[in-house]
Amino acid sequence: MKLVDYFFKALEVVLVFLLAGMTIMVFANVVLRYGFGSGIDISEELSRFFFVWLIFLGAIVAMRHNMHMGFDLVVTSVSEPVRRVLLTVANGLVLAVCIMVLWGSLAQFHVNATNIAPVTRMPMFWVFGVLIPMSSLIGLMAGLRMLGYATGRLKGLPTSERSVAE
């Protein structure tokens, strides 16, 4: 479990660097464009790539902390056994979507590897490739939660959702 905690801490550090890099590049580009009439071409494209990675890697961290938005009016108003069934189904649907995203990402791998970004000349896999770890890790977490609710090891709402619902 310690290894998993370290992994997610490292992922949070990566998120900080992505946000800082994106902010610095955009700020520097604005200052250069309006102050000096020039800019750094690569910063616009890289900041867009950083934003994509920030969103998808952030979704992994949010899934771990149960921080994704959800409509829980029905789940909080039913009995514990029905709640477990609903949460099992919900996590099963998340797992199914993650499998579809992973399947599509792998199927598009060769296309993205041969498409080149116009400014940085990087293969577009570096932009869309983030879907592979995102769908794999979120799918794994959803699958484990689904099994936990189905077997009764997990009950009710996760802790952070419980505090919002009450």
Type of residue at 86: L
Q: What is the pLDDT of residue 135?
A: 96
If asked whether residues 86 and 148 sit together in one domain, one would say yes
Q: What is the pLDDT along the chain (166 residues), one digit of tens a residue?
A: 799 999 999 999 999 999 999 999 999 999 998 998 888 889 889 999 999 999 999 999 999 988 887 777 888 888 888 889 999 999 999 999 999 999 999 999 888 888 898 998 998 888 888 999 999 999 999 999 999 999 988 876 655 544 444 3
Q: How many domains does the chain have?
A: 2
Answer yes or no: do 85 and 34 share one domain.
no
Same domain, 110 and 45: no
State residue 19's pLDDT score.
96
Task: Write out the residue range of the structural domain in which residue 41 sits.
Answer: 1-65
CB atoms within 10 A of CB 123: 15
- Same domain? 26 vs 54: yes
The predicted structure's pLDDT at residue 20? 96
- What pLDDT does 71 receive? 78
Tell me the backbone φ, ψ of residue 104, rounded to 5 degrees.
-65, -40
Q: What pLDDT was estimated at residue 79?
A: 87
